[in-house]
Amino acid sequence: MNSTPASDSPEALRAGLVKQLRDLGAIRTDRVASVIGQVPREAFAPEARLAEAYDPQRAVVTKRDKDGLAISSVSAANVQAFMLEQADPQPGENVLEIGSGGMNAAYLAELVGSAGTVTTLDIDPEVTDRARRLLADAGYDSVHVVTADGEFGAPGRAPFDLIEVTVGAPDIPPAWREQLAPGGRIVVPLRVRGLMRSFVLVREGDRLVSRGYELCGFVPMQGAGEQRERLVLLRNTPNEEVGLRLDDGDQVDVEALRAALSSPREEVWSGVTVGGEEPIDDLDLWLATVLDGHTRLTATVGARDKGIVASASPLGVATLVAGDTFAYRTVRAVDETRTRFELGAYGHGPAAAATAAGLVKEIRAWDQSQRSGPGARIEICPAGTPDDQLPAGRVVDKAHSRISISWPGQRP
């Protein structure tokens, strides 16, 4: 008898997924490979076809709000994998997951083993009912499923060795820090200056200090901590919308920038080139750190096709706003095969060339001082921490925290 599973069987799909996630760099250790090779994803995404449940890069959306925005999902396998690598759950640990679904809680339960404890918490009773049922059916009834606003953590079950947040957080509420054991870790998709990164942070006294981060996208946090970005439209012709995404108290002169958009553009090129597949998310984090007046320009395909802006980008591209002028990051191909691209900026408004040059100056600075370096270091201090007790760097003030972002410089 042939014991090889059919190529579309769950067993074969799991083995294939592990290989794909290793190739993507999302799985880095045998421990994470082992649990992803073991937990039946189809048991936690019964609404999806098998191929969707095992798609390495696509989330299965399980709930949308009245405007069609996804508010609950089973996260994509690559995101679950790299966050488990960041979190590094150890046997016997007490773990809190904020944002439930069932699947990631099952992975956590496997990693902490029978001596450990997993609590998964969601604000939405439909989500917790579903997660409780799916976890029990798959044999993970030791996971505690709690319906509550994650803003306040789970005080009755603290202290935690590890908190894994699986929802986009605009801030770090005090409960998360206070409910971590000394030296405990929190992995959290945190939005800072309009950019989301999954940070792994370690508690050092009343501070959280970063140990690394990854690019990610997550559904937004609801409840007491909800704080969405604002979108202001510079052009609202149907299908040709252009806007600015504002975050963390950003203020702009919308009327002046609307006028700027319809003025001719100036371009400034940096001489810095990147490969077509080369990630430049650290450049964006650098620009968000160093530029006063940093925002994100968004545009529809229609606006790009009309030539109003150079690229269509629903999430937005790094943009420097200086009063009545703005400039945004762009690229142009430098070879016929379109494999290398030069970074530059387009400016619009009375000071278009100077503003584009200001952005390009920081692209060059990133290239020279940071490009192959260790990236940013984030330290999160409680709100009210005096300036002289903050590490040097850009300080982003949130309701509950003061976030200091610094760039230690090139790796030796």
Ligand X SMILES: C[S@@+](CC[C@H](N)C(=O)[O-])C[C@H]1O[C@@H](n2cnc3c(N)ncnc32)[C@H](O)[C@@H]1O
Catalytic residues: 75
One of 221, 287, 359, 396 touching ligand X (CB under 6 A): 221
**CB of 148 vs ligand X, minimal distance in Å:** 7
Among 20, 119, 222, 370, binds ligand X (CB under 6 A): 222
**Toward ligand X, which CB reaches closer, 129 or 397?**
129
101 binds ligand X (CB under 6 A): yes
* Complex with ligand X: residue 145 or 359, whichever CB lies closer: 145
Which lies closer to ligand X via its Cβ, residue 170 or residue 393? 170
Indicate the residue among 121 and 297 with the shorter CB distance to ligand X. Answer: 121
| C-alpha distances out from residue 314 to 71, 158, 240, Å | 18, 39, 12
User: From the CB of 62, what's the least distance to ligand X, in Å?
Assistant: 7
Considering only 32, 53, 72, 360, the residue that binds ligand X (CB under 6 A) is: 72
Q: To the nearest whole angstrom, how small is the minimum distance from the Cβ of residue 37 to ligand X?
A: 17
For residue 71, which phi and psi values (nearest 5 degrees)? -120, -10
> Binding-site residue total for ligand X (CB under 6 A)?
30
The 152-181 contact track toward ligand X, x by CB under 6 A, reads: --------------xx--------------
Residue 71 corresponds to which tokens in the numbers above? 């508010």
Q: Considering the complex, state which of residue 26 and residue 71 has its C-beta at the smaller distance from ligand X.
A: 71
The CA distance from 127 to 44, in Å, is 12
**Choices 25-33, 100-108, 110-118, 360-368; region in contact with ligand X by CB under 6 A:** 100-108
- Distance (Å, rounded) from C-alpha 369 to C-alpha 36? 38
Q: Does 103 bind ligand X (CB under 6 A)?
A: yes
Q: How many residues does the chain have?
A: 412
Candidates 94-102, 238-246, 291-299, 372-380 — which segment interacts with ligand X by CB under 6 A?
Answer: 94-102
Q: Which is nearer to ligand X, 227 or 385 (CB)?
A: 227
Write a three-state SS string for the chain: CCCCCCCCCHHHHHHHHHHHHHHHCCCCCHHHHHHHCCCCHHHCCCCCCHHHHCCCCCCEEEEECCCCCEEEEECCHHHHHHHHHHHCCCCCCEEEEECCCCHHHHHHHHHHCCCCEEEEEECCHHHHHHHHHHHHHCCCCCCEEEECCHHHCCHHHCCEEEEEECCEECCCCHHHHHCEEEEEEEEEEEEECCEEEEEEEEEECCEEEEEEEEECCCCECCHHHCCCCEEEEEECCCCCCEEEEECCCCCCCHHHHHHHHCCCEEEEEEEEEEECCCCCHHHHHHHHHHCCCEEEEEECHHHHHCCCCCCCEEEEEEEEEECCEEEEEEEEECCCCCCEEEEEEEEECCCHHHHHHHHHHHHHHHHHHCCCCCCCEEEEEECCCCHHHCCCCEEEECCCEEEEEECCCCCC
Among 150, 173, 293, 358, binds ligand X (CB under 6 A): 150
- 188, 204 Cβ separation under 8 angstroms: no
- Residue 282 as a binder of ligand X (CB under 6 A): the answer is no
Minimum distance from residue 357 beta carbon to ligand X (Å) = 41
Backbone phi and psi for residue 354, each to the nearest 5 degrees, phi listed first = -65, -40
Residue 104 lies near ligand X (rule: CB under 6 A): yes
Binding window for ligand X (CB under 6 A); candidates: 18-26, 116-124, 269-277, 299-307: 116-124
Q: Which is nearer to ligand X, 86 or 370 (CB)?
A: 86
Closest of 172, 210, 171, 217 to residue 195, by C-alpha: 217
100 binds ligand X (CB under 6 A): yes
**What are the structure tokens assigned to 179, written together?**
């409910």
- The single residue among 26, 53, 74, 216 that binds ligand X, judged by CB under 6 A, is 74
Using CA atoms, how far apart are residues 331 and 231, in angstroms rounded to an integer? Answer: 24
**In the complex, what is the shortest distance from the CB of residue 98 to ligand X, in angstroms, rounded to a whole number?**
5
Q: Give least dist CB 165 to ligand X, A.
A: 9
| Smallest distance from ligand X to CB 96, Å | 11
151 contacts ligand X (rule: CB under 6 A): yes
- The least distance separating ligand X from the CB of residue 54, rounded to whole angstroms, comes to 14
Stretch that binds ligand X, among 1-9, 69-77, 344-352, 391-399 (CB under 6 A): 69-77
Minimum CB distance to ligand X smaller for 56 or for 358? 56
Is there binding between residue 123 and ligand X (CB under 6 A)?
yes
Q: Applying CB under 6 A, does 298 fall inside the site for ligand X? A: no
Interface positions with ligand X (CB under 6 A): 71-75, 80, 97-104, 121-124, 127, 149-151, 166-167, 218-219, 221-223, 225
